[in-house]
Structure 1
Amino acid sequence: MKFDKPAGSNPIDRMRIVGQPRDRVDGPLKTTGQATYAYEHTEIANPAYGAVVGAAIAKGRIRAMDGAAAKAAPGVLAVVTALDVGALEKGDYNTAKLFGGDRVDHYHQAIAVVVAETFEQAQAAAALVKVDYAPEEGRFDLAKALETAKPAKDPNAAPADEVNGVGDFDRAFAAAPVTLDAQYTTPDQSHAMMEPFASIAAWEGDQLTLWTSTQMVDWWRSDLAKTLGVDKDKVRVISPYIGGGFGGKLFLRVDAVLAALAAKAAGRPVKVTLPRPLIANNTTHRPATRQRIRIGCERDGTITAIAHESGSGDQKDGGPEAAVSQTRLLYAGANRLTALRLAVLDLPEGNSMRAPGEAPGMMALEIAMDEMAEKLGMDPIAFRVKNDTQVDPEKPERRFSQRQLVRCLTEGAERFGWSQRNAMPGQVRDGRWLVGMGVAAAFRNHISLKSGARVILGRDGQVTVETDMTDIGTGSYTIIAQTAAEMMGVDLDAVTVRLGDSRFPVSAGSGGQFGAANSTSGVYAACVKLREAVAQRLGFNSAEAAFEGGQVSAGNRTVSLTKAAAAGELVGEDGIEYGDLDETYQLSTFGAHFVEVGVDRYTGVTRVRRMLAMCAAGRILNPKSARSQVIGAMTMGVGGALMEELAVDTRYGFFVNHDLAGYEVPVHADIPHQEVVFLDEADDKSNPMKAKGVGELGLCGVGAAVANAIYNATGVRVRDYPITLEKHLEQLPAVA
């Protein structure tokens, strides 16, 4: 199905099942432990276990490896080293080399896997592998590396130029009567998902089956085939349940490669998982940024000049953290400039982490907006509202398909009690606590991607949906079931959803907040085909046939849906493809985050007291699972604001706190009441579901809202995340 014009009315608009807060269909399996994650598949007979050996240097070369002691250890079946396999081909989607050859590009890079009968035997033997390194001097300090960094292209710009802008920023900024010029920093961050990276590989002749934890089944299948030098048709990837990804499982990871190599060497299925201490340095992370924001305004608050420049680091063939992207679209201003710099670092690969670009970029931009509002003597919400725009500021001829940012801000302010906020910082007390409120806009673009599905009507009237779409804890099973039930006119319990298998039609996959809207649109397209097949078999005009209550009606005839499949199951297979509506209209999601904090005036400890998220993100397919996505994102935002930081050892080039003991994330006690409000909207320019994403919108802006609340509470402005107590403690006595 080609979607190249705004959606008209369709069966989804009935909102009988779609749009309703239905329980997760996979919930009982997960709460009872019956959902099978990557490392838990028991249908594989007699698996062996692989233990990964990570490099002990951050940069250099492997002179030699001695695996003799490991091979002689009890239970060992095979030892596969990077020197044994040589340099392997890099896939098309992953940006860094995963395994093979004598080069070490980062600390904990996988250099060997030891296979044994038991997990414990494999771990013990892996410790016996001896490695002779030739270390080299590396670059690990972002601040130092940025001094000589080169301009980088913005991957979200079209064309992807090194400097993007309109008007004459320098002239307008110099002429502005009120200006801001400030620097902000965000640290390296870890995905820290619950389920580690894990894979089971089994060969049957030249056919490889991989049970793994991936957000993108087809990407992994393609890259694994290319890395191993085998035909893609001979690789099957299975990933029915995923215990979180946040972007870390978008691209093929080394556990999958090593499981395949180890299974070939051992002659039997092999399980490989990355232990938690290996994950931070071996896999990907969100890169640190150093950002400069300049804003020039008229005295009435009109932005006349806005510039956002950001620098980040990555390996030689990596890319920048596109922290300036949202600044190109969020606020009006005639004169604009955005630019990125990329430093080459010998740290582990930097790549996508939930809302890449916008998440760290909003952490800076939305503090800057508050700082500018204070200089102007304006309320922060009023300043944002004044500079709202209904058109792309860089391409005024292109309107936003929908943009309800002002409603999110103003209605959120009323709901949160913003009028009770004291604009003078450090004035509100609650015992020993200094209390403050903060706000930030939320923004995340919507991405349209092809997505396919197959829908089958069985003889028993049961509808089965098959697509390689994944569920990373986001509710894919449920919203896909709701879509099929709505389209075919059956109850939710009459739909079975099968996901995460490369034998199914290729979907958009999970990531970038694009999964829900695109995958359900693909199911919608397949259901249209199935409805046509049903109507044809029953002798109805498909354009007139109505599907409801397990019945098909047209004119004065009504026939049971099961009768259509009595002579054999019917299949509808199709996918959604997009035209150029996203070029005519800017497709984005908007919101506002409100936070109240208390800061202990004696210890400097910050406690979040309450939070509100206002979201305008197209049709919400399931308010219950969408709320779960948003409160999870809000929680992640609190972590980014107050505690999350991968600490870099700039001498030896690794993340020091590479486990969940040292890398702090919020726990239940850190998170108070969270309220989420979805504005009622349906975006007919986005897809036939009239939906957009919401899971990353819930993160973008949260960190800045927390930071702004801390400033309102204390009068101490911290521009360096995370905002830990030592960054404002010395200044608190003067405030208190």
Structure 2
Amino acid sequence: MSEHTIQMDKPIGETRLDRRVQDVIGKGVARHEGPLKVSGRATYAYENLAGDGKNVAYGFIVTSTIGAGKIKRIDAVAALGKAGVLHVVTDSDGPRASADPGDKKPTAINGQITHYGQPVALVVAESFETARDAAKLVTVEYEPTEGTYALEDAQDKAFDPGQGVMPSIVKKGDFDKGFAAAEIKFDQTYTTTSQSHSAMEPHACVAEWNGDELTLYGCYQLVSTNVGQLAAALGIDKSHIRMVNPYIGGGFGGKLGIGPESVFAAKAAKVVGRPVKLALTRQQVYQDTSRRTDTIQRIRIGCDRNGVINAISHDTLCGNTPGDTVFEPAGISTVFLYDGENRLITHRLAEVNVVLASAMRAPGEAVGMLALENAMDELAEQLGIDPIELRKRNEPKVDPQDGKPFSSRMLVECMEEGAKRFGWADRSKVPGARREGEWLIGTGMAAASRKNLLQKASAKVELRPDGSATIETDMTDIGTGTYTILSQIAAEMLGLPLDKVAVTLGDSDLPQAPGSGGSWGANSSGSSVYAACEGIIEKIAAKLGVEPAGLTLKDGTVIADNKQTALTELLAGEPITVTGTFKPGDAFKGTHQASYGAHFCEVAVNAVTGETRVRRLMTVAAAGRILNEKTATSQSYGGQIFGIGATLTEELVVDPRTGLIVNHDLAEYHVPVNADVPQLEVVFLDERDHAASPLASKGIGELALSGVGAAISNAIHNATGIRLRDYPMTLDKVLAGWAAGKQAA
């Protein structure tokens, strides 16, 4: 086996993917694992049969009933006396698991309670039912302290959290001076609520020890990172842990880091000497894992009477549990989306005794663009300028923060194409002017952007003597289509039919990839597959005594010097195996890379009840090469639906007395259902970003969410004349706006 590394120090130019000889890249290929999932043949975490499948024990977590304080004593005598109970694991003096990948060194609890529902013990029994019943017999004596459960109550003690996925403070020029001198000044505050990831599969795992070696079957998004987190939590070297996550039933960021179930199950399995299965209940998922923080965001814009921005500021306050410094980078797109010489983007963090806040789909943009794109709509109305025209007047030629060139940028093209397809020119420009019976009709739009994030990745590709190929990497698939996309890349590069390529994912024994998250997965891991295939092609060329560029691979054959040879004949019984590694280089560092888009929305608002219904929703996106049109479209649908939820229905309600999440299940936490979602439309513009990766592609899954909610809320204003700035925009807020005489609510 050999290795082949590609480091992107300059744009890669035209590649075999551009030639499309096999013509599978970019096609709308159905997901490989789809039939496995719908038929029940895909094995999820809890379904793994460890050992002989008969000696498995079951765990049930005991959680705290206070939101702040200290554990004085845990009494498990009654639980241990119940028939079938094997052990009770307590964690009052051990490390805790963090649900955020940035927390590489889990901190010790030492008996401290930082939020309601915090896991404090695990009952292990012969059956799930016995463990669940015995968990009710465990009593915990606490020493409560006064907690802080609302972000507003903690803002006076907010602090600068320092470096996160972006610096907490980004500035250029003199914002205060520029804003004071502006002809037109805009200054408004927007709020967003806490949200839940609400993946269909709950957090679950099966832990099994073989001597000092731990195998954990889990459902985590970043395998190589997660192994390190679990090793730190258990106090062992990560070389003793194998993590297996072949199928994951959704994550949306909630499974970026390990959850409490993995640490508890691993500890329990060691003690009882048997594999231990542990799944969180739906209520525990909401209360014990993580959430998206609520935010308070202030947007200030100074411009001239033509709408040309000279000063822009975005200040964000968010919260997290005591000791956790991860913050929501709400201003991450404000840094580069619009021009303006004087700029100030700040983030402050306040400690609240509510479950951990971590990354959730499009961390930063998902909530930050709700505020920014609302503000741009309000400013356009204040100036009497079309919202698209205002954005075009502030389109930067280079990154306005650091002057780097854009690797590619098609924001204007997305807005123009969307306006044409949606019929933007025919909309009613006067709020509240269009009515159908008791329904007020309005339209709105918003820009979309998502930074392109690249990570180092490796994959092993083997071209086998029978003319088939295999791909192995610890990359994961959370429903995004990784299995299929990687097979498409290898099939296109090696000239193979898709059914001749097999993919193995989600095993920490395989070459390391960055995992699923941040919209970096397909681009990064796909580039490592590309690199491995390039190495294989070089070896094929050497066998034929020609240059690699002179090879054409198609339908299981190689064409060189006008001679066609079957791969099976060329290989002569010997496989070619290459581990490919992709590394971002100067091309990434020297350019500003992002995906762009525009959302257009039509809503109907009931003039009697205040209910909002989304009637049309269109997204136009430019994200480099689309690797699979079907999976990219599906991802975009998911982002649009996510945006509907964030704008109209989703809100984690926290009891201000205890920190209990009141609506901790899918019955009361209202994710959009079929009746909430209209016919969606997604349009991809043709784009190649050859500085972004060898694939010339960029992330799409999170771009599709960024800004959706602002398009909806701007449409609500166009329909009603009410300007809402507090998400979600539920009917009670619409009614309150009317009651206030159509003033801002």
Coarse TM-score class (shorter-chain normalised): over 0.9
Identify the range of structure 1 (482-491 vs 25-34) with the bigger mean alpha-carbon deviation: 25-34
For the residue of structure 1 that corresponds to 2:224, the secondary structure is helix
For the residue of structure 2 that corresponds to 1:328, the secondary structure is coil
The 3 A distance-change label for structure 1 pair 71 and 136 is same
The counterpart of 1:384, out of the listed 366, 382, 391, is 391
Equivalents in 2 of 1:7, 1:432: separation in Å? 57
In the TM superposition, 1:13-24 aligns within 5 A as 13-15=18-20, 16-24=23-31
Equivalents in 1 of 2:267, 2:682: separation in Å? 46
Whether contact under 8 Å (2:95, 2:107) holds in the other structure is no
For the residue of structure 2 that corresponds to 1:323, the secondary structure is coil
Matched, 1:437 2:443: yes
Report the alpha carbon displacement of residue 4 of structure 1 after superposing the two structures with TM.
1.1
Q: Provide the residue aligned with 1:294 in structure 2.
A: 300
The counterpart of 2:111, out of the listed 102, 115, 132, is 102
Equivalents in 2 of 1:43, 1:441: separation in Å? 48
Q: Provide the residue aligned with 1:112 in structure 2.
A: 121
The counterpart of 1:243, out of the listed 249, 257, 260, is 249
Q: Provide the residue aligned with 1:317 in structure 2.
A: 324
The 3 A distance-change label for structure 1 pair 87 and 674 is closer
In the TM superposition, 1:621-636 aligns within 5 A as 621-636=627-642
Structure 1 unaligned runs (5+)?
none
In the TM superposition, 1:427-576 aligns within 5 A as 427-576=433-582
The 3 A distance-change label for structure 1 pair 118 and 368 is same
Matched, 1:261 2:267: yes
Q: Provide the residue aligned with 2:63 in structure 1.
A: 54
**Which amino acid in 2 is paired with 1:301?**
G
The counterpart of 1:135, out of the listed 138, 144, 148, is 144
Equivalents in 2 of 1:141, 1:205: separation in Å? 46
**Which amino acid in 1 is paired with 2:559?**
S
For the residue of structure 1 that corresponds to 2:333, the secondary structure is helix
Matched, 1:4 2:3: no
Structure 2 unaligned runs (5+)?
1-5
For the residue of structure 1 that corresponds to 2:704, the secondary structure is coil
Identify the range of structure 1 (45-54 vs 94-103) with the bigger mean alpha-carbon deviation: 94-103
Q: Provide the residue aligned with 1:37 in structure 2.
A: 44
Matched, 1:336 2:320: no
Matched, 1:86 2:94: yes
For the residue of structure 2 that corresponds to 1:599, the secondary structure is strand
* Percent identity of equivalent pairs: 48
In the TM superposition, 1:183-222 aligns within 5 A as 183-222=189-228
Whether contact under 8 Å (1:93, 1:219) holds in the other structure is no
Whether contact under 8 Å (1:390, 1:403) holds in the other structure is no
Whether contact under 8 Å (1:50, 1:271) holds in the other structure is yes
Whether contact under 8 Å (1:640, 1:703) holds in the other structure is yes
Whether contact under 8 Å (1:98, 1:109) holds in the other structure is no
The counterpart of 1:225, out of the listed 231, 253, 260, is 231
Equivalents in 2 of 1:283, 1:446: separation in Å? 27
Report the alpha carbon displacement of residue 605 of structure 1 after superposing the two structures with TM.
0.5
Report the alpha carbon displacement of residue 265 of structure 1 after superposing the two structures with TM.
1.5
**Which amino acid in 2 is paired with 1:343?**
A
Equivalents in 2 of 1:501, 1:261: separation in Å? 21
Whether contact under 8 Å (1:318, 1:349) holds in the other structure is no
For the residue of structure 2 that corresponds to 1:716, the secondary structure is coil
Q: Provide the residue aligned with 2:676 in structure 1.
A: 670
Whether contact under 8 Å (1:209, 1:235) holds in the other structure is yes
Equivalents in 1 of 2:388, 2:97: separation in Å? 52
Equivalents in 1 of 2:91, 2:262: separation in Å? 15
For the residue of structure 1 that corresponds to 2:160, the secondary structure is strand
For the residue of structure 2 that corresponds to 1:353, the secondary structure is coil
For the residue of structure 2 that corresponds to 1:592, the secondary structure is strand
Equivalents in 1 of 2:359, 2:616: separation in Å? 29
Q: Provide the residue aligned with 2:3 in structure 1.
A: none
Report the alpha carbon displacement of residue 97 of structure 1 after superposing the two structures with TM.
4.6
Equivalents in 1 of 2:292, 2:82: separation in Å? 38
**Which amino acid in 2 is paired with 1:686?**
A
Residue-by-residue CA offset, 1:558-591 (whole Å, 9 max, x unaligned): 2211223333322111210121222211001100
TM-score (norm 1): 0.97
For the residue of structure 1 that corresponds to 2:78, the secondary structure is helix
Report the alpha carbon displacement of residue 540 of structure 1 after superposing the two structures with TM.
4.5
Equivalents in 2 of 1:122, 1:80: separation in Å? 12
In the TM superposition, 1:153-168 aligns within 5 A as 153=162, 155-157=164-166, 160=167, 162-168=168-174
The counterpart of 2:277, out of the listed 246, 271, 275, is 271
Q: Provide the residue aligned with 1:148 in structure 2.
A: 157
Q: Provide the residue aligned with 2:665 in structure 1.
A: 659
Report the alpha carbon displacement of residue 347 of structure 1 after superposing the two structures with TM.
1.4
The 3 A distance-change label for structure 1 pair 229 and 730 is closer
Equivalents in 1 of 2:432, 2:698: separation in Å? 39
Equivalents in 1 of 2:95, 2:590: separation in Å? 45
Whether contact under 8 Å (1:172, 1:304) holds in the other structure is yes
Report the alpha carbon displacement of residue 156 of structure 1 after superposing the two structures with TM.
4.3
Identify the range of structure 1 (1-10 vs 405-414) with the bigger mean alpha-carbon deviation: 1-10
Report the alpha carbon displacement of residue 250 of structure 1 after superposing the two structures with TM.
0.7
**Which amino acid in 1 is paired with 2:390?**
F
The 3 A distance-change label for structure 1 pair 156 and 221 is closer
The 3 A distance-change label for structure 1 pair 92 and 409 is closer
Q: Provide the residue aligned with 1:352 in structure 2.
A: 359
The 3 A distance-change label for structure 1 pair 362 and 128 is same
Q: Provide the residue aligned with 1:393 in structure 2.
A: 400
Whether contact under 8 Å (1:457, 1:463) holds in the other structure is yes
**Which amino acid in 1 is paired with 2:552?**
A
Equivalents in 2 of 1:107, 1:677: separation in Å? 44
Whether contact under 8 Å (2:207, 2:216) holds in the other structure is yes
Report the alpha carbon displacement of residue 218 of structure 1 after superposing the two structures with TM.
0.5
TM-score (norm 2): 0.96
The 3 A distance-change label for structure 1 pair 92 and 172 is closer
Equivalents in 2 of 1:227, 1:298: separation in Å? 55
Residue-by-residue CA offset, 1:288-308 (whole Å, 9 max, x unaligned): 100111111111111111111
For the residue of structure 1 that corresponds to 2:371, the secondary structure is helix
Whether contact under 8 Å (1:525, 1:576) holds in the other structure is yes
Equivalents in 2 of 1:139, 1:731: separation in Å? 30
Equivalents in 1 of 2:344, 2:109: separation in Å? 42
Whether contact under 8 Å (1:619, 1:680) holds in the other structure is yes
Report the alpha carbon displacement of residue 537 of structure 1 after superposing the two structures with TM.
4.0
Equivalents in 2 of 1:87, 1:648: separation in Å? 26
**Which amino acid in 1 is paired with 2:17?**
I
Equivalents in 2 of 1:94, 1:167: separation in Å? 33
Equivalents in 2 of 1:5, 1:584: separation in Å? 9
Identify the range of structure 1 (520-529 vs 142-151) with the bigger mean alpha-carbon deviation: 142-151
Equivalents in 2 of 1:571, 1:95: separation in Å? 34
**Which amino acid in 2 is paired with 1:574?**
G
Count of residue correspondences: 731
The 3 A distance-change label for structure 1 pair 440 and 92 is closer
Equivalents in 1 of 2:156, 2:97: separation in Å? 33
Report the alpha carbon displacement of residue 539 of structure 1 after superposing the two structures with TM.
4.8
For the residue of structure 2 that corresponds to 1:133, the secondary structure is strand
**Which amino acid in 1 is paired with 2:8?**
F
